[in-house]
Structure 1
């Protein structure tokens, strides 16, 4: 059996809480005119996500505010926090969900990999190795 290439490889299943789903769909819709490529990618992720009540969202799934550790073909081992655009600060490790990598991370669980395209058109792959929620990270 041959391995699928990146172009035909399916995206992993993702799970998003109802509140994040509603907010992120609105955010992406609002951003369509300013940054259409990223906004469309985030909308596509929201369209394919399994939407659940916040209490049903597993602890190891990336949601807004999560601290995510991942391995990447471009950044090696990295830990970031997924935030809304106004809270983003790359030097502090806070990545906006309205960036290509931020849109790729939402809804993934530890152990899942996803291919994503950077703004410069280069394709990358990342694998989530750990997810911590803000309350757990502070403990």
Structure 2
């Protein structure tokens, strides 16, 4: 199961990883790089509105515990857990970027191996430039 990434998100995230000093690189950054490398890259206007991408609002359920989270995926500087905004560099952000509403993603998080069901995804519809 490969994630689907818009060209803009791919370039933005790739630049973030490349610009990070080696001393600040984390395990999640390496995992995110692998996800980007294996992802299906599509033109911004062709990505589904139900795909988790940067600035997406989403609801996800831990299938094992039944716990549901409502979050927004953002760049690291915008992350604020008090506002339910998580970084693309967080373990959960890396796990879910590029996956669609209805999918179940299996991922090793700090709390162990989890099956995460994506219940809802909200995105602004990209505008086509003419």
Query: What is the TM-score of this pair, normalised by structure 1?
Result: 0.80
Partners of 1:52 and 1:67 lie apart in 2 by 20
Partner of residue 31, structure 2: 41
CA contact 1:29–1:39 (8 Å) conserved in 2: no
Q: CA contact under 8 A between 2:49 and 2:124: conserved in structure 1?
A: no
- Please say if 1:14 is aligned against 2:18: no
Deviation at 1:91, TM superposition (A): 1.4
Match of 1:77 among 68, 72, 90: 68
| CA distance in 2 between partners of 1:111 and 1:118 (Å) | 20
Where does the alignment leave 5 or more consecutive residues of structure 2 unmatched? 126-130
Q: Using the TM superposition, give the Cα deviation of residue 70 of structure 1 relative to its aligned residue in structure 2, in angstroms.
A: 0.7
My pick for the range that moved more, 72-81 or 83-92, is 72-81
- Unaligned 5+ segments in structure 1 are 1-11
3-state SS of 1:33 partner: helix
Distance 1:75 1:95 in 2: 20
Q: Deviations over 1:84-121 (max 9, x none)?
A: 0000011110010001101111100011121222246x
In 2, Cα distance between equivalents of 1:132 and 1:85: 20
Deviations 1:16-47 (A, max 9, x none): 10010011112123345313301001101101
The answer to whether residue 120 in structure 2 is matched with residue 130 in structure 1 is yes
CA distance in 1, matches of 2:75, 2:87: 5
